[in-house]
Amino acid sequence: MNTVLVIALILAMAATLFALIRGIIAFLQTTKEELNMPEGSGPGPSRLKQNKMMMNRILFQAAAIIIVAILLLAKGNG
């Protein structure tokens, strides 16, 4: 059981890192045209991708925290 949780934790941490890097890359690819868009024109494609990647990062971090909590509870009961 613990082995499965540790593997799941490593996968969740890797997914968090991947989403963080993709979000940073999307941020760096923001063009001047997107930055100078008029107000009310809505978010550009790069901003939408940034938001999506950062939401994924938060979800993966939450999964990693839950897995750590389960591991700690299992260790305390064992």
Predicted local confidence at residue 78, as pLDDT = 64
Measured distance between the N- and C-terminal CA atoms of the chain, rounded to whole angstroms = 12
Q: Residue 30 — very low, low, confident or very high, per pLDDT cuts 50/70/90?
A: confident
Predicted local confidence at residue 65, as pLDDT = 97
Domain parsing of the chain, residue ranges:
2-77
For the segment 58-69, what is each residue's pLDDT rounded down to a tens digit?
999 999 999 999
C-alpha 64/C-alpha 45 separation (Å) is 29
Mean pLDDT of the chain: 88
3-state secondary structure of 52: helix
Tokens of 18: 């991947």
Percent of the chain residues past pLDDT 90, beyond the cut = 55
